[in-house]
Amino acid sequence: MSTVKKEPATRYCYHCRTHHPVEEMKLLVTKTGSRWRCIKSIEAVRRSKAERDQYGREVSAANQSEASSRARILNKIQSEG
């Protein structure tokens, strides 16, 4: 039996709240400790304000869509039960 721990293939990005492949992630030190963040979101910070705002709207829309989808699924499950 092997005691070697396998690293996960993905990491959770605290900025866009999704999992990304480890190769697309970077470990950042924050006030509250170390956190993983995707390179795409880090690079978005270096852009103009308009581009950052657009990126933020895209991430927010994706998060809202995912939350709505989960809510629909849960409502369907609850109504069937």
- 19 forms beta bridges with 12
- DSSP character at residue 2: -
Amino acid identity of 27? L
Residue 80 banded pLDDT, cuts 50, 70, 90: confident
pLDDT in tens, 6-56: 667 899 998 888 899 999 999 999 898 999 999 988 888 888 999 888 888
Domain extent, residue 22, equals 10-75
Domain count, the chain: 1
Residue 63 within a domain:
yes
What SS3 state is found at 46? coil
Residue 3 banded pLDDT, cuts 50, 70, 90: low
Encode 3-21 in three state secondary structure. CCCCCCCEEEECCCCEEEE
Residue 3 within a domain:
no
Residue 5 within a domain:
no
- 34 forms beta bridges with 29
Pairing of strands 18-21, 25-30: unpaired
Instruction: Please tell me the predicted confidence (pLDDT) of residue 17.
Output: 82
